[in-house]
Amino acid sequence: MNQSPEQLPFFLGSRLVKELDLGVGGNLYGGRMLDFTAEQAAIHAARCTGESHPVGYRFSEFYLTRPVKAGEILDFYAGKPEFGRSSVTFSIEARVGGERALRGECTFVAIGPDGRKKALKERKP
């Protein structure tokens, strides 16, 4: 599922990095980057599946590939979703001015009222 930046067709959204997002080294704190990424990924999963509250199941091999400074804008992109019976998986990355700052992959599942996985009804690329 590792797609090059040119192959990530879905623009998800942007975040402005603020001073309060920085760690002790003066760069965006990795935990905040992962928080931003998880939020963008959950929104994308909801849009792809039609589920109002998809549940994060797996966040795999996230690489922070560039330091990010206050005042920079992170743009998030996702790859083509791959659907399972009750899940959706896609690659995701964050870029600053076209330069990749994070890349990874995630899977979300649909959960029924009983808390168990349920089959997806809607699937959109």
Write down the number of H helices and E strands in the chain.
1, 6
Q: How confident is the model at residue 7 (pLDDT cuts 50, 70, 90)?
A: low
Q: What is the mean pLDDT of residues 91-105?
A: 96
Q: Is the dihedral of CA 62, 64, 69, 71 positive or negative?
A: negative
Q: Which of 119, 101, 120 is nearest to 40 (CA)?
A: 101
Structure confidence at residue 83 (pLDDT):
95
Query: CB burial class (10 A; 0-12, 13-18, 19+) of residue 109?
Result: buried
Q: How confident is the model at residue 92 (pLDDT cuts 50, 70, 90)?
A: very high
Structure confidence at residue 121 (pLDDT):
80
Predicted TM-score of the model (pTM): 0.89
